[in-house]
Amino acid sequence: MRILLIEDEDPAAKRLQKMLKEIEPGATILDSIVSVSSAIKWFNENEAPDLVISDIQLSDGLSFDIFKSINTSCTVIFTTAYDQYAIEAFKVNSIDYLLKPVKKDELAIAINKFKQLRNNTQQSVLDINKLLQSFTAPAANNYKTRFIVRYGEHIKTINVQDVAYFNTEDKINFLITKEGRRYTIDFNLDTLESMLDPKIYFRINRQFIIGIHSITEMFAYSKSRVLVKLNPPTKQETVVSTERSGDFKLWLDDQK
């Protein structure tokens, strides 16, 4: 079995490789690709793999764009940090998926399903248009409206419109309100991206998702990068990453 990985987060890619070696020792991992553009290049220069395991959200776009640009019949197992409502849409379209962080037993089940399909000479057909509809439509009317947070022995709800930004620090995820109060939350930033209205909130780097209303000033930082000043202030550096700078400018202009 020849497997191609498409995953832009190095820890996730290494974890997948480790699990695959344990589940399917005889499998060959051909390569680990980190972007849409490099994946298209790889497919154009190499024989198609038997199986692709691909994250949906990559640094330069959606992995669906890869399969729109190439002609291949290989089976794809998608990984995604999106919530259960979106996941159900993938199931309806008969697409294999794994919710991140990927669990070893679920990966083993997906691999076994692929082997059964291959033995039965069935094809797993990708309908890219349906996938794109599944990916975008469910979120349109199901953005998160409030969060439950805990402080001490107390529990309270916070409306999304009262959140200035979200950040991660020392592997702990925080919600920061407009009043400057900080609460730990159970969701990581990958998951939060799918929960929040993209017109209002934007992930500027691996540490921050910011609200448009939280921006006080912006400065040219280096080349295309932008330094963002937030209210409430934060001691962490809030610089838009290079790969997100183009989308950030479109977001500011309300074109995303």
Write out the residue limits of the CATH 3.40.50.2300 domain(s) in the chain: 2-140
| 30 pLDDT above the threshold of 80 | yes
pLDDT tier, 225 (very low <50, low <70, confident <90, very high otherwise): confident
The mean pLDDT of 194-211, rounded to a whole number, is 93
∠ CA 19-24-29 to the nearest 5 degrees? 75
114-136 residue pLDDT tens: 888 777 655 555 566 666 665 55
Write out the residue limits of the CATH 2.40.50.1020 domain(s) in the chain: 146-252
Angstrom CA distances, 173 to 86, 185, 214, stand at 23, 6, 18
In this structure, are strands 182-184 and 172-177 parallel, antiparallel, or unpaired? antiparallel
Distance in angstroms (rounded) separating the CA atoms of residues 141 and 208: 24
39-53, 88-102, 242-256: segment of lowest average pLDDT: 88-102
The SS3 call for residue 93 is: coil
Q: What is the DSSP letter of 239?
A: B
| 139 pLDDT above the threshold of 50 | no
Q: What is the DSSP letter of 47?
A: P
- Closest to 27 (Cα-Cα) out of 48, 47, 55, 51: 51
Amino acid at 18: K
pLDDT tier, 155 (very low <50, low <70, confident <90, very high otherwise): confident
The CATH number assigned to the domain with range 2-140 reads 3.40.50.2300
In this structure, are strands 154-159 and 146-151 parallel, antiparallel, or unpaired? antiparallel
Token pair of 192, please?
């939060």
Q: Are 217 and 229 in contact (CB under 8 A)?
A: yes
Q: CA 8, 43, 46, 117 torsion: positive or negative?
A: positive
- Does the pTM surpass 0.75? The reply is no
Which superfamily is assigned to 146-252 in CATH?
LytTr DNA-binding domain (2.40.50.1020)
Distance in angstroms (rounded) separating the CA atoms of residues 7 and 153: 39
Beta bridge partners of residue 79, listed in sequence order: 55, 98
pLDDT tier, 187 (very low <50, low <70, confident <90, very high otherwise): confident
99-118 residue pLDDT tens: 778 889 999 998 988 888 77
Q: How far apart are the first and last CA of the chain?
A: 39
Q: Are 204 and 241 in contact (CB under 8 A)?
A: yes
Distance in angstroms (rounded) separating the CA atoms of residues 223 and 109: 46
